[in-house]
């Protein structure tokens, strides 16, 4: 999916919502455990209930690969079930060089058919360029994350006076066109600083919902003429209900965010 298609889908749905499929078998409704593949059944019902309200789904790969080959099968079934007009993100946070990076890119882009994958840029351009060889795919680089430990490295100052995350943005934006960045919603005021460096790139923004980030503040600093944001909510949507009506509860949670997005898009 190219940028024009993504923007068109956002405008059609009045939504820039991404739903994280971080599906934990210990948290899904108990009646689903009777199914042959409980995780897939949970994902399937979440997708059925929310696909008209979001523009992206983001499976967290760790929640699938922990089960070995069965988990990878569940992931593939999930990806195949997602409608083609919805952007897919492999939240894998891979980061290695050379042939290893090429194999990671092949795994998520060729084998599983994701539109994008999250990548850690710590090892430099040779850990990212193999992903950018796929012209019709997106590489989403970790930049300014929402976890407390981000202070350990991302917010350390270099001799130049720049923060590490700023250097990551300055350097990596020259590597290719199909790059997005992860910027956490729990640091909304810093999105303004991010936009000074990358005014037009799409940002994948986790932290709205269960982590306490403010959608309104993120949009205040981050919206562009082409929207430029994918706001992710995982736990706040997929675990909104715990009983047999869990999918309807998830829809209600997603609809609440989508309605707020509609207002923000038409201000």
Q: What percent of the chain has pLDDT over 70?
A: 98
12 pLDDT tier (thresholds 50, 70, 90): very high
* Confidence (pLDDT) at 56: 98
Choose, from 77, 93, 102, 162, the residue flagged as catalytic. Answer: 93
> DSSP character for 31?
G
Assess contact for 233 and 17: CB atoms under 8 A. yes
Pull the structure tokens for residue 12: 């059609």
Total Cβ atoms within 10 A of residue 35: 12
| pLDDT for 210 beyond 70 | no
| pLDDT for 185 beyond 80 | no
Q: What average pLDDT does range 109-137 have in this prediction?
A: 96
Beta strands in the chain (DSSP E): 17-21, 56-59, 87-94, 116-119, 138-144, 179-183, 203-205, 229-233
208 pLDDT tier (thresholds 50, 70, 90): confident
- C-alpha 224/C-alpha 142 separation (Å) is 20
Pull the structure tokens for residue 108: 């998520």
- C-alpha 196/C-alpha 227 separation (Å) is 16
* Confidence (pLDDT) at 245: 96
207 pLDDT tier (thresholds 50, 70, 90): confident
Pull the structure tokens for residue 234: 């995982």
169 pLDDT tier (thresholds 50, 70, 90): very high
* Confidence (pLDDT) at 150: 86
| pLDDT for 89 beyond 70 | yes
Nearest in space to 30 (alpha carbons), one of 245, 243, 248: 243
β-pairing, 229-233 vs 203-205, is parallel
Catalytic site includes residue 93:
yes
189 pLDDT tier (thresholds 50, 70, 90): confident
Domain count, the chain: 1
CATH of the domain at 66: 3.20.20.70
Q: What average pLDDT does range 138-143 have in this prediction?
A: 97
Could you tell me the pTM of the whole model?
Answer: 0.96
pLDDT in tens, 17-57: 999 999 999 999 999 999 999 999 999 999 999 999 999 99
Assess contact for 19 and 237: CB atoms under 8 A. yes
pLDDT in tens, 228-250: 999 999 999 999 999 999 999 99
Q: What is the dihedral of CA 105, 108, 109, 112, to 10 degrees?
A: 150
Backbone angles phi, psi at 60, to 5 degrees: -85, 115
Q: Which domain holds residue 197?
A: 3-265
């Amino acid at each position: 999916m190219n940028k024009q298609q993504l923007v068109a889908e956002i405008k059609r749905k009045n939504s820039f919502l991404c739903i994280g499929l971080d599906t934990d078998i210990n948290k899904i409704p108990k009646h689903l455990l009777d199914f042959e593949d409980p995780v897939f059944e949970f994902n399937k019902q979440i997708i059925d209930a929310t696909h008209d309200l979001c523009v992206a789904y983001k499976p967290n790969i760790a929640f699938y690969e922990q089960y070995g080959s069965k988990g990878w099968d569940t992931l593939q079934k999930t990806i195949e079930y997602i409608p083609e007009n919805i952007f897919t993100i492999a939240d894998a946070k891979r980061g290695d060089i050379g042939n290893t990076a090429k194999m990671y890119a092949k795994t998520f882009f060729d084998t599983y058919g994701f539109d994008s994958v999250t990548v850690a840029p710590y090892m430099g351009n040779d850990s990212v360029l193999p992903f950018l060889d796929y012209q019709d795919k997106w590489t989403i680089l970790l930049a300014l994350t929402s976890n407390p430990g981000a202070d350990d490295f991302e917010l350390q100052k270099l001799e130049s006076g720049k923060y590490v995350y700023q250097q990551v943005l300055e350097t990596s934006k020259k590597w290719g066109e199909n790059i997005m960045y992860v910027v956490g919603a729990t640091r909304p005021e810093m999105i303004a600083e991010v936009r000074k460096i990358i005014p037009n790139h799409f940002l994948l923004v986790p932290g709205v919902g269960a982590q306490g980030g403010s959608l309104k503040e993120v949009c205040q600093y981050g919206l562009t003429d082409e929207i430029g944001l994918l706001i992710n909510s995982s736990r706040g949507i997929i675990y909104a209900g715990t009983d047999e009506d869990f999918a309807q509860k998830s829809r209600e949670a997603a609809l609440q965010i989508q309605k707020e997005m509609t207002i923000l898009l038409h201000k």
